[in-house]
Amino acid sequence: MRKRLGSIKFRIVAVVVVFTLASALASATLSLRHFQRSARENLLRAAEFNLNLVAGLVSRDMESLATLRDWCATDAGVSGYISGGAAEAATAVRAFEAMNEQVLLNRAYPYLLRAVAVSQDYQRILQCGSGTTAGIPLNPYTISRLEDLEQDLGGGQWVATDPFSTVDPPCILYSCGPIRQGTGRGRPTVGTVFLMVSSAIITDPIADYQLPEDCDLLLTVSGRSFVLDGTLSAVDPPDSFALTQDETFNSSTRVCQFPAPDGSLFLSVSCPVGGSGLWLTQTISPQALNASLHTLYGTQLLLLCLSSLLIGAAVLWVLRRTISRPILRLQSRMEAISLGDFSPDPSIEWDNELGDVGRGVNHLSQSVQGLMERRLADEKARQDLEYQMLQSQINPHFLYNSLNSIKWMATIQSADGIAEMTTSLAHLLKSVSKGRDSLIPLWLELALLRDYYVIQKYRYGGAVVLEEDVEPGLDSALIPRLTLQPLLENAIFHGVEPKGGAGLISLTVRRTEDLLTLAMADDGVGMEPERAAALLTGEEAGPVGLFRQIGLSNVHRRIQYEFGPEYGLSIESEPGAFTRVTVRLPYTTERPGKENKR
């Protein structure tokens, strides 16, 4: 029992109850102006929320109608019939069926009375909708009624009118847009699409809308206002109104103040209905504002002020000791964790609810540290496995081509060439199959590259020339195994071979302080920047040579796995001129221990 009374939950509840009672009494006595402001704010926010809710419901249907209008304006079948460019009977049937299908599938179909597509001379007509038989029939004799409407061919704004209605006033919304033929800019306009929508699209969502006393709900369409009382009843707008400084949830919401005929001031909250150009407005009368005010209590002003001050001071003191200080300690601990200090802190494990949070923070920090260690170990194991798998993927097509070349050499030249090519192939296969270290000295990588070049030299009949420019003293520099061979293979495949199989390839190796740079350049056909980027990301397949999967993207990823994202490959190329692949590595001659590998 004592622990419950001393818990933070009990203290906060007790303080809140006492403070709420005192604040309510003081506020009711001292803050009539505050009450009025709060009542005004609550009514405005409630009106804005309700209007936005209704506007959201209506805008979905209006947007679907706008989509239908845009479809009719761009569909090739509709424009083909309206323009009169094809056989009328077949074109008219197909255009009507396509348009009718879109109308039936539209979510606002129950409210869409007419969807009409007409040619510019009003001689060709397509009509669909749920109310095509209502009112005055639309036919070649009555189609001219559409010519009297004000058409906004660019924006497709909505207006409240119906040239075919027999009801006065007509309860309908109308919109139009141009029908264009062809594609691209400058398409000719061949007709107009008209949408006539029942006002129920607005009145149905507001059927259960709760209005305060003496308040109205209005719809504004193209500068005209209508009272929403089950139909669209036109109403004259106020002579003058002014925007207020009231804050709103939505930046597009407008709050205005305007005088009534009796001299009282009304408020209005207006929200747009999506991008349709329609606005929903709720008026708020002075009676609605006054009805939300409470009766003031007649107690002494000075006593209530002093009581509020004392209660406030007590609340601040209690909250500071029971909540603020522990929370600051927890924040400090979490900041230390964010900086990488995952050691537990027993001082935040108090004997209350915040102490439970502190114990959870300590447990979480230890779990995160263990997870990070396991993740690093798993990532390194995955990289090692991937590297070993890539090493073992020797392509049998390469062996077949090499042996074919040896067979060819045996028939057309002396044994010296066969011996040199066979020796290079043996060295190459021995180096690839037996090597397991991810980093090898530069001299060993160069030896592997030269063996590979010997094979390619005989394969291309000596038309491929490799020049080496290696800065002295770099033989012991460590680089990832199989870094240069894919570069040479790529230079032959993407540069030299497409231009006829003859060309010059140069290798340059330089050291700048702690940076080792290896550049492989060829005078081949070059490539576009997009293709060069695709080679680094693996989106474009590399050459089918010694390995199936070790291309430039693989070399790039292995270097970044080993040394970090600031190192790797870059490609410079000019179509028809050259391609240069540059490898950036940290200069090192010491092989890192297992525990120091990245």
Decide which of 53 and 238 is more confident.
53
Asked if omega into 529 is within 30° of 0 (cis), the reply is no
- Structure tokens, 120: 């510019």
Report how far residue 135's alpha carbon sits from residue 131's, in angstroms, rounded to the nearest whole number. Answer: 8
- Total count of domains within the chain: 2
Query: What's the mean pLDDT in 243-264?
Result: 81
The rounded mean pLDDT for the chain is 77
Instruction: Report whether 196 contacts 116 (CB < 8 A).
Output: yes
Domain closes at, from 237, 272, 289? 289
Where is mean pLDDT largest: 183-192, 311-320, 461-470? 461-470
Is 7 within the bounds of a domain?
A: no
pLDDT attached to residue 474: 93
Query: What's the mean pLDDT in 456-464?
Result: 82
Is 579 within the bounds of a domain?
A: yes
Label residue 515 by pLDDT band (50, 70, 90). Answer: very high
Is 375 within the bounds of a domain?
A: no
3-state SS, residue 25: helix
Specify whether 407 is located in the same domain as 280.
Answer: no
CA 544 and chain centroid, separation: 38
Query: How many degrees, rounded to 5, is the angle at CA 119 between CA 113 and CA 124?
Result: 75
The conformation of residue 492, written as its DSSP 8-state character, comes to I
Alpha helices (H) in 392-414, listed in sequence order: 396-412
Specify whether 137 is located in the same domain as 284.
Answer: yes
Specify whether 278 is located in the same domain as 423.
Answer: no
Domain closes at, from 257, 289, 321? 289
pLDDT attached to residue 296: 37
Residue 593 has pLDDT above 60, yes or no: no
Specify whether 270 is located in the same domain as 412.
Answer: no
- Structure tokens, 522: 């060829």
Alpha helices (H) in 75-182, listed in sequence order: 76-83, 88-105
Is 66 within the bounds of a domain?
A: yes
Q: Which helix (H) or strand (E) holds 419?
A: helix 415-434
pLDDT attached to residue 21: 64
Is 160 within the bounds of a domain?
A: yes
pLDDT attached to residue 28: 58
Decide which of 151 and 93 is more confident.
93
- Structure tokens, 243: 């925007």
pLDDT attached to residue 443: 93
Instruction: Report whether 155 contacts 147 (CB < 8 A).
Output: no
Amino acid at 550: I
pLDDT attached to residue 507: 96
Is 361 within the bounds of a domain?
A: no
pLDDT attached to residue 155: 47
Specify whether 422 is located in the same domain as 553.
Answer: yes
Residue 573 has pLDDT above 70, yes or no: yes
DSSP 118-146: EETTS--EEEESTTTTSSSPPSTTTGGGG
Domain closes at, from 262, 289, 316? 289
Report how far residue 74's alpha carbon sits from residue 64's, in angstroms, rounded to the nearest whole number. Answer: 15
Is 154 within the bounds of a domain?
A: yes
Cβ partners under 8 Å of residue 98, min gap 6: 75, 77, 78
pLDDT attached to residue 205: 85
174 bridge partner residues: 159, 196
Amino acid at 18: V
**Percent of the chain whose pLDDT exceeds 90:** 11
Is 584 within the bounds of a domain?
A: yes
CATH number of the domain that residue 591 is part of: 3.30.565.10
Tens-place pLDDT, residues 541-562: 555 555 544 678 888 988 988 8
pLDDT attached to residue 44: 84
Report how far residue 197's alpha carbon sits from residue 114's, in angstroms, rounded to the nearest whole number. Answer: 7
Label residue 316 by pLDDT band (50, 70, 90). Answer: low
Query: What's the mean pLDDT in 389-412?
Result: 58
Report how far residue 596's alpha carbon sits from residue 343's, in angstroms, rounded to the nearest whole number. Answer: 23
Domain extent, residue 92, equals 31-289
pLDDT attached to residue 298: 42
Tens-place pLDDT, residues 59-76: 888 889 888 888 988 888
Specify whether 575 is located in the same domain as 460.
Answer: yes
* pTM of the entire predicted model: 0.43
Name the least confident of 173-187, 390-404, 413-427.
Answer: 390-404
